[in-house]
Amino acid sequence: MTGNIPWSCGHITTIGYDRDIDPNLIDIWLTPERRKLIPNLLKRRTYVSQTSCGICGKKMMEDLNQVLKPADNGFEVKIDRIFECIKKLSEKQNIYPRTRGSHAALLFDENLNVASFSEDVGRHNALDKAIGNLFRNRTLKNARLLVLSSRISYELVQKAARARIPIIISKSRPTALAVDMGKSLNMTLACAFESKNLIIFSGENRIKRE
């Protein structure tokens, strides 16, 4: 998401890499129309997104807050439905019970139907895959609620914000930077504590207790 214009598959003409140079470097070609909308991003020399746990510094955080658009209001969910969603995450995790070494991301639509699920050894990768599935299917606009097996870091808030997902629920507490970013972007961040307790850090207006 850049400005008020959402990304779509139609903005990308080609994605590929050169086997002889470095298969870890991915080249993405955008349409001329899309390039005209993001001149500032094309000129910058710092990273816009990342998958590591490191912090890029104050300048990075300021840049992100300028680029990302605050989440819209309107979508609300009952607290008991949230715990149902958390339970579904555990039910769908096939790798973690066997390895104790993977993370998962589960996305729901506005009716709280499962929209996308992914597991990976990395929590950032799990979310990237879950969002990517919807992006490829052109249904990312339907995503409303994200459940994570890991703690909420600011990078994960950033990814959810770009995907226009207003609610993030996790099984672990968020970092301070994640909460600050969530508040600045009008997002709902919460974590499940024990079986029926929910700690809400921002965006409490989206969670209905009755």
d(CA 20, CA 23): 8
**Residue 85 annotated in active site:** no
Which residue(s) pair with 207 in the sheet?
A: 77
Alpha-carbon torsion angle 16, 20, 22, 23, nearest 10: 50
The alpha carbon of 25 is separated from its chain's Cα centroid by a whole number of angstroms, namely: 22
Q: Collapsing DSSP states into helix, strand and coil, what is residue 147?
A: strand
Q: Collapsing DSSP states into helix, strand and coil, what is residue 201?
A: strand
d(CA 182, CA 71): 9
d(CA 177, CA 175): 5
> 160: number of CA atoms within 13 Å, CB side?
34
Which two structure tokens, joined as six digits, stand for 108?
Answer: 């729901």
Of 9, 53, 85, 191, the catalytic one is 53
Residues that are catalytic: 53
